[in-house]
Amino acid sequence: MNRYVMYNFVMVSLLNLMLFVPNILFQYRYHGAVSSLIAAAVIGPLFGIVFIRTITKYPGKGVPEILNENYPRWVTVPAFLFFALMWFSAASITVDAYAVLINRFFNPDANVLVILGVMCVICLYAATRSTLSMLFIMEIMLLLNVPLIVMLLVKAGGSDQMNWDAIRTASNYVQSMPKLAPLAAATFIFTGYLNLSIYNRVLPPNYKFKRGYLLPVFGIGVLATTYFIPIGLHGIDGVSSYLYVWSATSDSLAMEYGFIERVLFVFLILYLNLTLIYTASGWHQAMEMIKSCFPKYKPSIDEHPVPRSNYVIVSVFAVITVAALYLLNEKHLTEFTSYWLIIRMFSEYGLVIWIVVHTLLRRGAA
């Protein structure tokens, strides 16, 4: 079952491009992005491993059950609603951003809301399935997509247009201190472990977390790729002018002897899959959080048939997502995301510390 933990981690770390993480890092490229990357590479895996080791001590229980058993409702319900909001908004930002991307690159004449609507229907169907099915969907999608994504990243890194002097220049700005916004953006890469707060329900009782070193190794790899490859291809001074910096980066690569010369389209399709699965997973977790607010709710990992409440909650999510894109423009979306990333960092580490301290106190009392 170890691989299901890793899937969550890999999915979220690869998805950072859709949440404008590179854009925020490039904004601070002269003012602390590199040192933020280093700080994130320490903080991220540390919290990740501590959290996974702690939560797996509660077999079959998610964060809602752990907290509900020990704290009064008036503490837990607002916390769950808040976490639901965090997961839901991340997923919705991603799918909104992707709808805009489709509109820009695939079909500029189509109505962006219709595109988003279709994507939302797919995510609605996937997110309302049971927790177990959700993990299986995730496994299949990642197995299909990640090898190609990694191939593209390696191809980008080995491109002969890569200017290593620009990358060295970028890393020379290491001496400025880390800043909050780039740190929040960089730590997002490691945030996948937090999905266990729901998915821990599925892990078997005898589960033991193994190969924890993969977290820092993979995370730092993704972090370095995300930051340095666009700088190598677009230059340190010019990289921040691109809005969709990784789309531009994949468009800078050519596969002369591939079926499609423009790597951009391969890249967009791969990220479409990744976005859909991330959104479905995010909505599913937000839905489970909201359902945990009801006193009578009994979590089950493979319920059949799908309860009506699932459809109601996720439909509300979908409607809010479409409405958000209708009301906001691209600039609002980016600004909102940078605030979201900062709040996410604090709430994520708050939750980790809460669970860890709770566990330590309980062990001390016992």
Partner 1 sequence: MRRFCTACVAFIMLSLLMQGCGFKDIDKRFFVVAAGIDRTSNADKPYRITLRLAIPSPKAEPGASKSQLESIDTATIAEGVRLLKGHVDKEIDFGHCKVIVLGESLVQSDYVEALTWMIRRRDIQSIATVAVGKPSAEDVMNANPPSERYPGNSLFLSFGTEGTDSPFTLQMFLFDLERRYTERGLDPFLPVIKRDHMTYMISKVAFLDKQKVKLTLSNEETQMYNQLSTQFKKSSIMATYKGKPIVALLTGIHRSYRIIEQNGQAVIRMKVRLRCILEQAPRGLYNSDWRQIEKAFSDQYSTKAETMLDKIRNTGVDPFGFGLRYRAMHRGSDATWNRWVKLYPNAKFEVRTSVKIDGTGLIK
CB of 33 to partner 1, least distance (A): 11
Coil, helix or strand at residue 57: coil
CA distance linking residue 122 with residue 131, whole number of Å: 16
Closer by beta carbon to partner 1, 166 or else 341: 166
Closer by beta carbon to partner 1, 201 or else 284: 284
CB of 246 to partner 1, least distance (A): 12
Give the C-alpha distances (Å, rounded to integers) separating 87 from 70, 108, 194, 303, 313.
23, 29, 10, 22, 13
CB of 254 to partner 1, least distance (A): 5
CB of 211 to partner 1, least distance (A): 36
Closer by beta carbon to partner 1, 262 or else 358: 262
CA distance linking residue 260 with residue 250, whole number of Å: 13
Nearest to 145 by CA among 264, 11, 258: 11
Closer by beta carbon to partner 1, 70 or else 172: 172
Closer by beta carbon to partner 1, 112 or else 351: 112
CB of 245 to partner 1, least distance (A): 11
Closer by beta carbon to partner 1, 161 or else 300: 161
| Alpha-helical regions (H) of 204-291 | 214-234, 245-251, 263-291
Give the C-alpha distances (Å, rounded to integers) separating 38 from 41, 183, 216, 237.
5, 9, 11, 21
- Token pair for residue 110? 């189509």
Cβ neighbours around 65 below 10 Å, total = 17
Closer by beta carbon to partner 1, 158 or else 305: 305
Give the C-alpha distances (Å, rounded to integers) separating 280 from 85, 317, 318, 345.
14, 11, 11, 21
CB of 104 to partner 1, least distance (A): 5
The residues that touch partner 1, with contacts defined as CB under 8 A, are 30, 104-105, 107-111, 114, 117-118, 121-122, 125, 161, 163-166, 168-175, 233-238, 241, 248, 251-254, 256, 261-262, 264, 305-306
Q: Read off the amino acid at residue 189.
A: I
DSSP for 187-207? HGGGGGGGGHHHHTTTS-TT-
CB of 125 to partner 1, least distance (A): 5
CB of 39 to partner 1, least distance (A): 17
CA distance linking residue 366 with residue 357, whole number of Å: 14
Closer by beta carbon to partner 1, 306 or else 357: 306
